[in-house]
Structure formats: structure tokens, C-alpha cells
Amino acid sequence: MRMSRLLVRTLREAPADAEVASHQLLVRAGFIRRLASGVYTFLPLGLRVLHNIEGIIREELDAAGCQELLLPALHPRELWEQSGRAELFGSDALPAMTVEGRGGSFVLGPTHEEVVTVTVGAEVDSYRQLPLTVYQIQVKFRDEARPRFGLLRTRELIMCDGYSFDVDKDAMQATYKVVYDAYLRIFARMGLDVSPVEAESGAIGGDVNHEFMVPSVVGEDHFVRCVACGYAANVEAATRGGFGEPAAPASDAPAVVDHHTPERPGIDQVVGFFDDTSITAADLLKSLAVVDDTGRPVLVLLPGDREARLPSGWRMFDDADFAAHPSLVKGYIGPMGQQAAGITVVADLGVTRPGGWITGANQADHHISGALLGRDFIVDEWGSYAQVVTGDSCPRCGKDVDLVRSVEAAHTFQLGTKYSSVMTGSSFVAEDGSEAIFSMGCYGMGVSRLLAVVAEEHHDDKGLAWPTGLAPFAVHLASLGTGRAPEVAEAADALYERLVAAGIEVLYDDRDVSPGVKFADADLLGIPVRLVLGAKGVARGIVEWRSRTTGEEREADLNGPVEAVVGA
């Protein structure tokens, strides 16, 4: 491709709304353009990278025995009502977009579990047709509340989503491992250092799932990592270790003390109430009134210096909930006697530590100190309800863990029968002649997001630096001073034709602009190999070769074999 004919306009300054390097560089280099908030056009250079990403995905998934299909992006709303997920529309868990048409109400597909289940269910009627794994690369729509960071969080995105169908759970887990391994190979070929971590399933569902996280300074997620044993989990799923059984309260422990704490409903405000400077937020019991995913009122207890990690589907009390449960006094909640009021009390394992707690007295403007677990309050259920932080104990080996800022590149799920048990026509004849339902897996990878993830990890202060295999072109050929030296243009044209004839993808900068502009654009575009032809080089029969990634430079024989010229 001659650059004089390419639809590209490079920019010297990044747009004002571009907050991260990948967004800035992809716009400056003419790979993408913003159409609306969270909606982007892929210009020719960006589309070429996108196709290279898709090519790697297809090669690895096809080699793993997966089959590509293409499902509709427009879904009848009835399918989502059948699965029960229509109730989540409009929430952060499932920000789906809907449209009204002449044929009824439709959903612009944010994901395709319902559609693929009824599609495969209509075609498969016997265990002999299983296992079966299908995938597609297609546009998805998500009504993100706050699109940002360019392609990292958008309202319209391109995704590769795969779905496996097996006869039972054991077979599904075997298939899951095959696709999981294929994902690792895909990311390795893209030059990404990916960590698969345990995660929450969210609106997709399933028992076991993994996020494939890429450490990144601009990531909106974090995962917990133990370098000692390899434990890794998203902060929403991570747990911490090092806790024993709750200590029994001492028989001679002092009684609780009531404190008048007017207009001090917060942890920090209560800490400031006490003259004892040794008291910190860790000495207070944080009590959160929530409604769980079954509609049950629950009081969640955790140390006051910790942020809560609530299970998916749980929500905080609103004013109506507080009005319906007067035993929970907003701002002054304590766990004492809540079971008698019909409140289930659950607690983070950190609450097992010995000693008394400072907590709300269930009376406005009052707190108590010295509250003991087992004497003054009891816990119905124990779990991990506090977010893990750097320095906590690993739940597997007990060593310290750390938090890693990251970007999610993919998410895989062991769905089991979540969808096949409710979607019409999801049964087949098992080997023993009985009727059975599919055990399913789901595998999602953000294709358009990967373009930004790779750009974020492979750039420098001059521009992009694409890994080989992902770059829009393999070689960037630039001719210098062609207006004053027609022999340079002739030699560059000849080299370009030789490279193209050899099957090498070349971007030929034949524009009549200064060498400085050509070099700056070459660095910005990030093509792996740059070849430069000038008058002196043509006279000597050499071409200047440079690696975009390492900066290595050398000379190559202009008239040598093209493989030698490109590889130098």
C-alpha cells in the first residue's frame, strides 16, 4: 500500500478526551476515530490490526476443534425473559440496549448465551453429536454508564464469544480446559503477559470462571497475586487466609460501655470521638445492611478498616428497607439481637479476632465499646466479605499477597446447566436412552479491546510498536528526497514491487514530505521493520534497516534477496 493513497491522517497532538496512551496513540496514528461516546470507527490501519487479531484467534480456536458460526445481533426479548436475565436490563451487571421494532421488542445483543443455546439445541438431538464447541466474532452492544479509555470501555465492541456443549459436567470441564489452553496460546502470540485469575461470574452465571488479566498501569481492575504458590483471583473473588476459629469470650471480660456519640454516624467520626489515640478504624465493627439475591435482609460485619466485597446480586438497604426494619438504625447499626428481628448476620473471617469491638448501639447517636463475639452478638454465617489488600495472607499458603492493577482481556465460564435447564429445546437423547440437557461452557474475548490492550503494552514515547503478526504491515518503506533524486524513487518503487511480489505486506511512504515527517510517522505507526532509501544509499547499493522495537540499525544489500533485506 502506497501511503499517498492510504486513508490516514496522523496527528501531532492527542485529542483532549484521550486519557491513556493507547487511546492517544491509536487516534494520533490514524487507526481509529471517535463517532460518539464509546463508539469508534476503525480506519484501514486499525482494521488491518483487528483482522490480524481475529486471524490468530481463528487459527487457535479452529486448531482446538471449535467451529465458527455467526449469530444474529438482534435478539427477540422473549429469549431473555425465558432465561430470566431480562430482569437485569438497565443494571450495571447487564447494561443491555433494547429497541422497539415492527416485529416486537428486541435486544441488541450484549452476549449470546440464550441465542446460542436455542440454536444448537435445535440442531443437536443425540449424545453422538457431542462434544460441540462453536464461536463467533461479532459486534456487541452494552449501554456503559461511563465509556472511557478509548477502546478499553465502549458501548459498541467486537467480541469473540465461544460456547461449548457437552453431555455432562466432567466432559464440560475437559472441554473448558481445551479452550482455556487455546486462550493462553492466543495471548502468547499477541505478546501479552496474561494471568488467569479466579473471578465472580456476574450476570453470565456458572460455578467456575476465570478472567484473563493483563497487568497495566491504566487498568480499571485489580487482581490478587501470591508469588509464592501462584494463587490469583480478581479482587471481587479473592479471599484471605490466616484465620482460626472464633475465640470464646473470657468469663471475666468487662461489660459493654455505652457512649453518647451525637451526629457521628461514620467510622472515622467515631474514631475521632475517643481520646485514646491507639483506637483505629480496625477496632470498629463495620455493619452493612443489605438485601441478598433472594430478597433476605442481611447484616454484613467486617473490620472498620476494610472495604466490603459483597456477592453478586446483593444490594445496600434503601430508605424503604430501613423503614421496614426498625432494628437497624441507619448510621448506628450494631449486630446485637438482630436475629430476633429477622435479620441474618453474616461476617467476614476478620471478625474472628479476639477482643472487644466498638459498634453501633442500634440507637441514634449512640455506640458501644467492648462488644464481644459470642457474648454480645452472634454470627449466623461466616465468609469472605472484605476486599483483600497487599500484605494479606494467601488463603492457600499463608504467604503475603499483593494487588496488581490490570485490564481484563477475556473471561471464561463453566456454565453447567444454567441456560440449558430453562431455554426451550435444550435436551438431547443420552447414551442410556434417557433425556438429558447440555452442560455448557462460555468463553468471551474482547477483540476490539485487545487492539487497545496490545497498544497499551507495546509503545514508547514516540508511538506504537506492534508485535510481529499484529502490525498492520510487516515493513514500512520510506524513500527520501525523491523530488531532487528521481533515481531514489525509481529504486524505492522497484524494491516495493519486489517485496509485494514476495508476499510481504509493505506500507510504502512515497509522499512528498520531509524526512523528519516520514520518520516521525514511521515511529508513530509502529510497524516492526523500517527500510529507508536515500540518494547516498542508492549510490552505494544499500538500504537502511531499523527495528522499531529495539532501535537496532544496520545496512542491507539493496539488490539482495528480499528475505535478507527485510530480515537484515
Residue 374: per-residue pLDDT = 93
User: Which residue is associated with the grid cell 514476495?
Assistant: 502
Please tell me the pTM assigned to this model: 0.87
CA separation for the pair 464, 520 (Å, rounded): 11
pLDDT under 70: residue ranges of the chain? 201-206, 483, 568
At the topology level, CATH places domain 473-567 in Rossmann fold (3.40.50)
**H or E element that contains 177:** helix 169-189
Residue 204: per-residue pLDDT = 58
Residue 49: per-residue pLDDT = 98
Report the length, in residues, of the chain. Answer: 568
Query: Which three cell numbers, joined as nine digits, stand for 553?
Result: 540499525
Residue 201: per-residue pLDDT = 62
Q: What is the pLDDT of residues 555-568, one digit of tens each?
A: 999 999 998 888 86
Q: What is the pLDDT of residues 16-48, one digit of tens each?
A: 889 899 999 999 999 999 999 999 999 999 999
Q: Name 40's Cβ contacts closer than 8 Å, sequence gap at least 6.
A: 32, 33, 34, 150, 151, 154, 156, 448
CA separation for the pair 69, 67 (Å, rounded): 7
Residue 92: per-residue pLDDT = 74
Can you identify the CATH homologous superfamily of domain 257-383?
Answer: YbaK/aminoacyl-tRNA synthetase-associated domain (3.90.960.10)
At the topology level, CATH places domain 21-238+403-456 in BirA Bifunctional Protein; domain 2 (3.30.930)
Residue 217: per-residue pLDDT = 87
Q: How far apart are the first and last CA of the chain?
A: 22
Dihedral sign (CA 477, 481, 486, 488) = negative
Dihedral sign (CA 233, 237, 238, 244) = negative
Cβ atoms within 10 A of the Cβ of 127, count? 18
CA separation for the pair 7, 364 (Å, rounded): 67
DSSP for 119-165, please give it.
Answer: HHHHH--BGGG-SEEEEEEEEEE---SS-BTGGGB-SEEEEEEEEEE
Q: What is the pLDDT of residues 374-394, one digit of tens each?
A: 999 999 999 999 999 999 999
Q: What 3-state class would DSSP assign to 49?
A: helix
Q: Of 505, 524, 521, whose CA–CA distance to 513 is shortest?
A: 521
Residue ranges per structural domain of the chain: 21-238+403-456, 257-383, 473-567
